[in-house]
Protein backbone atom coordinates (compact mmCIF):
# COMPACT_ATOMS: atom_id res chain seq x y z
CA UNK A 1 0.00 0.00 0.00
CA UNK A 2 1.63 3.20 -1.20
CA UNK A 3 -0.70 5.54 0.69
CA UNK A 4 -1.13 5.67 4.45
CA UNK A 5 -4.12 8.02 4.55
CA UNK A 6 -7.18 8.76 2.43
CA UNK A 7 -10.12 11.17 2.66
CA UNK A 8 -13.54 10.33 1.23
CA UNK A 9 -16.40 12.83 0.91
CA UNK A 10 -19.95 11.46 0.76
CA UNK A 11 -23.13 13.50 0.18
CA UNK A 12 -26.29 13.27 2.26
CA UNK A 13 -29.39 11.82 0.67
CA UNK A 14 -33.13 11.89 0.96
CA UNK A 15 -35.17 8.80 0.17
CA UNK A 16 -38.74 7.76 -0.61
CA UNK A 17 -39.78 11.27 -1.74
CA UNK A 18 -43.26 10.55 -0.46
CA UNK A 19 -44.78 7.62 -2.38
CA UNK A 20 -41.52 6.08 -3.70
CA UNK A 21 -40.93 3.90 -0.66
CA UNK A 22 -37.57 2.06 -0.82
CA UNK A 23 -37.11 2.91 -4.51
CA UNK A 24 -36.54 6.68 -4.98
CA UNK A 25 -33.59 8.66 -3.62
CA UNK A 26 -31.65 11.84 -4.26
CA UNK A 27 -28.22 13.13 -3.22
CA UNK A 28 -27.94 16.52 -1.48
CA UNK A 29 -25.11 19.05 -1.12
CA UNK A 30 -24.53 18.34 2.56
CA UNK A 31 -21.47 16.22 3.29
CA UNK A 32 -19.52 14.02 5.65
CA UNK A 33 -15.82 13.37 5.14
CA UNK A 34 -14.21 10.14 6.37
CA UNK A 35 -10.45 10.07 6.93
CA UNK A 36 -8.81 6.65 7.22
CA UNK A 37 -5.22 6.48 8.51
CA UNK A 38 -3.18 3.29 8.64
CA UNK A 39 -1.83 2.27 12.05
CA UNK A 40 0.68 -0.27 13.30
CA UNK A 41 -1.70 -1.63 15.94
CA UNK A 42 -3.36 -4.08 13.56
CA UNK A 43 -6.82 -3.16 14.82
CA UNK A 44 -9.63 -1.02 13.50
CA UNK A 45 -12.51 0.80 15.25
CA UNK A 46 -15.59 -0.98 16.58
CA UNK A 47 -19.26 -0.23 15.91
CA UNK A 48 -20.51 0.55 12.40
CA UNK A 49 -17.00 1.37 11.17
CA UNK A 50 -15.65 -1.96 12.37
CA UNK A 51 -18.63 -3.90 11.00
CA UNK A 52 -18.13 -2.25 7.61
CA UNK A 53 -14.39 -2.97 7.61
CA UNK A 54 -15.02 -6.61 8.52
CA UNK A 55 -17.53 -6.91 5.68
CA UNK A 56 -15.01 -5.36 3.27
CA UNK A 57 -12.24 -7.82 4.07
CA UNK A 58 -14.67 -10.77 4.00
CA UNK A 59 -15.99 -9.79 0.58
CA UNK A 60 -12.67 -9.23 -1.18
CA UNK A 61 -12.49 -12.18 -3.61
CA UNK A 62 -10.32 -15.06 -2.47
CA UNK A 63 -9.37 -13.34 0.76
CA UNK A 64 -6.69 -11.51 -1.22
CA UNK A 65 -6.47 -8.62 1.26
CA UNK A 66 -5.39 -9.41 4.80
CA UNK A 67 -7.14 -7.20 7.40
CA UNK A 68 -5.00 -4.28 8.54
CA UNK A 69 -5.29 -1.70 11.27
CA UNK A 70 -6.52 1.84 10.77
CA UNK A 71 -8.14 4.69 12.62
CA UNK A 72 -11.10 6.62 11.30
CA UNK A 73 -12.29 10.19 11.73
CA UNK A 74 -15.64 11.39 10.44
CA UNK A 75 -16.26 15.12 10.01
CA UNK A 76 -19.14 16.94 8.44
CA UNK A 77 -22.59 18.43 8.68
CA UNK A 78 -25.00 15.52 8.22
CA UNK A 79 -27.04 15.01 11.41
CA UNK A 80 -27.50 11.50 12.77
CA UNK A 81 -30.91 9.76 12.75
CA UNK A 82 -32.71 12.52 10.84
CA UNK A 83 -33.50 10.68 7.60
CA UNK A 84 -30.61 12.16 5.62
CA UNK A 85 -28.55 9.04 5.03
CA UNK A 86 -25.91 9.47 7.74
CA UNK A 87 -25.33 5.71 8.06
CA UNK A 88 -24.62 5.50 4.32
CA UNK A 89 -21.96 8.20 4.59
CA UNK A 90 -20.16 6.20 7.30
CA UNK A 91 -20.34 2.85 5.52
CA UNK A 92 -19.49 4.29 2.10
CA UNK A 93 -16.66 6.39 3.52
CA UNK A 94 -15.08 3.27 5.04
CA UNK A 95 -15.66 1.01 2.01
CA UNK A 96 -14.34 3.54 -0.49
CA UNK A 97 -11.47 4.52 1.80
CA UNK A 98 -10.31 0.91 2.20
CA UNK A 99 -10.68 0.33 -1.53
CA UNK A 100 -8.47 3.37 -2.21
CA UNK A 101 -5.83 2.19 0.27
CA UNK A 102 -5.49 -1.20 -1.45
CA UNK A 103 -6.17 -0.21 -5.07
CA UNK A 104 -2.56 -0.44 -6.26
CA UNK A 105 -2.26 -4.06 -5.14
CA UNK A 106 -5.87 -5.10 -5.66
CA UNK A 107 -8.09 -2.68 -7.61
CA UNK A 108 -11.83 -3.07 -7.05
CA UNK A 109 -14.62 -2.12 -9.44
CA UNK A 110 -16.83 0.75 -8.24
CA UNK A 111 -19.91 -1.33 -9.02
CA UNK A 112 -18.67 -3.97 -6.59
CA UNK A 113 -18.24 -1.41 -3.81
CA UNK A 114 -21.78 -0.11 -4.41
CA UNK A 115 -23.10 -3.68 -4.30
CA UNK A 116 -21.47 -4.23 -0.90
CA UNK A 117 -22.86 -0.92 0.36
CA UNK A 118 -26.40 -1.87 -0.62
CA UNK A 119 -26.00 -5.24 1.08
CA UNK A 120 -24.90 -3.58 4.30
CA UNK A 121 -27.68 -0.98 4.19
CA UNK A 122 -30.36 -3.50 3.30
CA UNK A 123 -31.96 -1.28 0.65
CA UNK A 124 -30.63 0.93 -2.16
CA UNK A 125 -32.59 4.19 -2.01
CA UNK A 126 -29.99 6.10 0.03
CA UNK A 127 -26.94 4.11 -1.05
CA UNK A 128 -27.24 4.62 -4.81
CA UNK A 129 -27.65 8.43 -4.86
CA UNK A 130 -24.90 8.97 -2.27
CA UNK A 131 -22.58 6.82 -4.37
CA UNK A 132 -23.50 8.09 -7.85
CA UNK A 133 -25.00 11.51 -7.11
CA UNK A 134 -28.22 12.84 -8.61
CA UNK A 135 -31.64 11.20 -8.58
CA UNK A 136 -31.91 7.41 -8.43
CA UNK A 137 -34.66 4.92 -9.20
CA UNK A 138 -34.04 1.50 -7.67
CA UNK A 139 -35.73 -1.89 -7.64
CA UNK A 140 -35.02 -5.56 -7.09
CA UNK A 141 -33.33 -6.90 -10.23
CA UNK A 142 -35.59 -9.98 -10.29
CA UNK A 143 -37.99 -11.74 -7.94
CA UNK A 144 -35.01 -13.55 -6.39
CA UNK A 145 -33.28 -11.62 -3.57
CA UNK A 146 -29.96 -13.23 -4.50
CA UNK A 147 -29.94 -11.23 -7.76
CA UNK A 148 -29.69 -7.94 -5.87
CA UNK A 149 -30.86 -4.58 -7.16
CA UNK A 150 -31.05 -2.66 -10.42
CA UNK A 151 -30.89 1.12 -10.54
CA UNK A 152 -30.83 4.13 -12.85
CA UNK A 153 -29.34 7.52 -12.09
CA UNK A 154 -30.18 10.95 -13.54
CA UNK A 155 -28.65 14.41 -12.91
CA UNK A 156 -30.76 17.04 -11.17
CA UNK A 157 -30.77 20.67 -12.31
CA UNK A 158 -29.92 23.47 -9.90
CA UNK A 159 -33.41 24.93 -10.49
CA UNK A 160 -34.76 22.81 -7.65
CA UNK A 161 -34.27 23.70 -4.00
CA UNK A 162 -34.86 21.34 -1.09
CA UNK A 163 -36.06 23.21 1.98
CA UNK A 164 -35.24 20.88 4.85
CA UNK A 165 -36.60 21.20 8.37
CA UNK A 166 -34.25 19.30 10.70
CA UNK A 167 -35.75 18.74 14.16
CA UNK A 168 -33.65 18.17 17.25
CA UNK A 169 -35.65 14.95 17.54
CA UNK A 170 -33.78 11.80 16.51
CA UNK A 171 -35.57 8.78 15.01
CA UNK A 172 -34.08 5.37 14.35
CA UNK A 173 -34.91 3.61 11.09
CA UNK A 174 -35.79 0.48 13.06
CA UNK A 175 -38.36 2.35 15.15
CA UNK A 176 -39.90 3.98 12.08
CA UNK A 177 -40.08 0.70 10.15
CA UNK A 178 -41.64 -1.00 13.14
CA UNK A 179 -44.77 1.14 12.72
CA UNK A 180 -45.48 0.01 9.16
CA UNK A 181 -48.42 -2.31 8.44
CA UNK A 182 -48.05 -5.72 6.82
CA UNK A 183 -50.75 -4.90 4.25
CA UNK A 184 -52.31 -1.79 2.70
CA UNK A 185 -55.52 -1.35 0.65
CA UNK A 186 -55.12 -2.17 -3.03
CA UNK A 187 -56.27 1.31 -4.05
CA UNK A 188 -53.58 2.92 -1.91
CA UNK A 189 -50.88 0.73 -3.46
CA UNK A 190 -52.05 1.69 -6.96
CA UNK A 191 -52.07 5.41 -6.15
CA UNK A 192 -48.55 5.20 -4.73
CA UNK A 193 -47.33 3.40 -7.86
CA UNK A 194 -48.91 6.06 -10.07
CA UNK A 195 -47.32 8.96 -8.21
CA UNK A 196 -43.94 7.24 -8.00
CA UNK A 197 -43.95 6.82 -11.78
CA UNK A 198 -44.85 10.49 -12.24
CA UNK A 199 -42.07 11.64 -9.91
CA UNK A 200 -39.52 9.47 -11.72
CA UNK A 201 -40.67 10.84 -15.08
CA UNK A 202 -40.44 14.43 -13.87
CA UNK A 203 -36.86 14.01 -12.65
CA UNK A 204 -35.78 12.09 -15.75
CA UNK A 205 -37.26 14.68 -18.12
CA UNK A 206 -36.46 17.79 -16.08
CA UNK A 207 -40.12 18.80 -16.08
CA UNK A 208 -40.07 19.69 -12.41
CA UNK A 209 -43.30 21.70 -12.50
CA UNK A 210 -45.17 18.40 -13.02
CA UNK A 211 -44.07 17.31 -9.53
CA UNK A 212 -46.81 19.40 -7.97
CA UNK A 213 -49.24 17.26 -6.00
CA UNK A 214 -47.31 14.03 -6.54
CA UNK A 215 -45.87 13.52 -3.04
CA UNK A 216 -48.98 12.11 -1.35
CA UNK A 217 -48.18 8.78 0.26
CA UNK A 218 -50.22 5.89 1.73
CA UNK A 219 -47.48 3.35 2.55
CA UNK A 220 -45.40 4.85 5.34
CA UNK A 221 -46.06 8.51 6.21
CA UNK A 222 -49.55 8.01 7.70
CA UNK A 223 -48.06 5.57 10.21
CA UNK A 224 -44.85 7.45 10.99
CA UNK A 225 -46.38 10.88 11.46
CA UNK A 226 -47.23 10.08 15.09
CA UNK A 227 -43.50 10.25 15.87
CA UNK A 228 -43.13 13.91 14.85
CA UNK A 229 -45.15 16.72 16.48
CA UNK A 230 -46.78 18.96 13.88
CA UNK A 231 -46.02 16.57 11.03
CA UNK A 232 -49.06 17.23 8.83
CA UNK A 233 -49.35 20.99 9.55
CA UNK A 234 -45.66 21.54 8.72
CA UNK A 235 -45.96 19.76 5.37
CA UNK A 236 -49.17 21.64 4.62
CA UNK A 237 -47.58 24.98 5.50
CA UNK A 238 -44.77 24.35 3.04
CA UNK A 239 -47.20 23.73 0.21
CA UNK A 240 -49.36 26.71 1.11
CA UNK A 241 -46.20 28.85 0.91
CA UNK A 242 -45.55 27.68 -2.64
CA UNK A 243 -43.73 24.34 -2.54
CA UNK A 244 -44.32 21.79 -5.30
CA UNK A 245 -44.72 19.23 -2.55
CA UNK A 246 -43.45 18.14 0.84
CA UNK A 247 -42.68 14.83 2.52
CA UNK A 248 -40.86 12.96 5.26
CA UNK A 249 -37.17 12.55 4.41
CA UNK A 250 -36.32 8.86 4.69
CA UNK A 251 -37.49 7.49 8.02
CA UNK A 252 -37.36 10.98 9.57
CA UNK A 253 -37.27 13.09 11.51
CA UNK A 254 -36.43 15.67 8.82
CA UNK A 255 -39.29 17.09 6.75
CA UNK A 256 -38.55 18.34 3.25
CA UNK A 257 -40.19 20.60 0.69
CA UNK A 258 -39.24 20.73 -3.00
CA UNK A 259 -39.59 24.06 -4.77
CA UNK A 260 -38.63 26.11 -7.80
CA UNK A 261 -39.10 29.40 -5.93
CA UNK A 262 -40.45 30.95 -2.71
CA UNK A 263 -37.56 29.48 -0.72
CA UNK A 264 -37.68 32.09 2.05
CA UNK A 265 -41.46 31.93 2.45
CA UNK A 266 -41.40 28.14 2.63
CA UNK A 267 -38.55 28.12 5.13
CA UNK A 268 -40.34 30.58 7.37
CA UNK A 269 -43.65 28.74 7.14
CA UNK A 270 -42.12 25.39 8.07
CA UNK A 271 -40.09 26.79 10.95
CA UNK A 272 -42.94 28.83 12.43
CA UNK A 273 -45.32 25.87 12.23
CA UNK A 274 -42.77 23.66 13.96
CA UNK A 275 -42.50 26.21 16.76
CA UNK A 276 -46.29 26.23 17.18
CA UNK A 277 -46.13 22.49 17.78
CA UNK A 278 -43.18 22.68 20.19
CA UNK A 279 -40.81 20.99 17.77
CA UNK A 280 -37.32 22.55 18.10
CA UNK A 281 -35.78 22.58 14.63
CA UNK A 282 -33.62 24.41 12.11
CA UNK A 283 -33.99 24.87 8.37
CA UNK A 284 -31.41 24.24 5.65
CA UNK A 285 -31.93 25.11 1.99
CA UNK A 286 -30.13 22.46 -0.06
CA UNK A 287 -29.47 21.66 -3.70
CA UNK A 288 -28.94 18.31 -5.35
CA UNK A 289 -25.43 16.86 -5.49
CA UNK A 290 -24.62 15.33 -8.88
CA UNK A 291 -21.09 14.11 -8.11
CA UNK A 292 -21.66 11.44 -5.50
CA UNK A 293 -18.79 9.99 -3.48
CA UNK A 294 -15.44 11.71 -4.01
CA UNK A 295 -11.84 10.83 -3.11
CA UNK A 296 -10.44 14.13 -1.79
CA UNK A 297 -6.85 13.16 -1.08
CA UNK A 298 -4.42 10.32 -0.58
84/176 same-domain check: no
- Cβ neighbours, 10 Å, residue 168: 11
Count CA within 13 A, CB hemisphere, residue 290.
7
42 pLDDT band, cuts 50/70/90, is: confident
Q: What is the tens place of the pLDDT at every residue in 181-235?
A: 999 999 999 999 999 999 999 999 999 999 999 999 999 999 999 999 999 999 9
Domain of residue 179, residue span: 161-286
144/173 same-domain check: no
Q: What is the 3-state secondary structure (H, E, C) of 223-259?
A: HHHHHCCCHHHHHHHHHHCCCCEEEECCCCCCEEEEE
144/219 same-domain check: no
Q: What is the tens place of the pLDDT at every residue in 59-83?
A: 988 777 889 999 999 999 999 999 9
**For residues 213 and 264, what is the distance between their CA atoms, to the nearest angstrom?**
20
97/167 same-domain check: no
Domains identified in the chain, total number: 2
**For residues 207 and 211, what is the distance between their CA atoms, to the nearest angstrom?**
8
What is the number of residues in the chain? 298
144/247 same-domain check: no
pTM of the model: 0.93
Average pLDDT taken over every residue of the chain: 94
293/150 same-domain check: yes
11/147 same-domain check: yes
**Residue 298 clears pLDDT 80, i.e. is over it:** no
Amino acid sequence: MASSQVQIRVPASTSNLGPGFDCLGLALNLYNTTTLTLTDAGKFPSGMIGETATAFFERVPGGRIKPFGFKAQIDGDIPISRGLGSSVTVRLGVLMGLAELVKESFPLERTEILKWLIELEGHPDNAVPSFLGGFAVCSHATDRPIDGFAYSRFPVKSDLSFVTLIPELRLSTETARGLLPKEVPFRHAVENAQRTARIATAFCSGDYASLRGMFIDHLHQPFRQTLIPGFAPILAAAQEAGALGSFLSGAGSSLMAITLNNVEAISTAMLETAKKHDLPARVLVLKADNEGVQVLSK
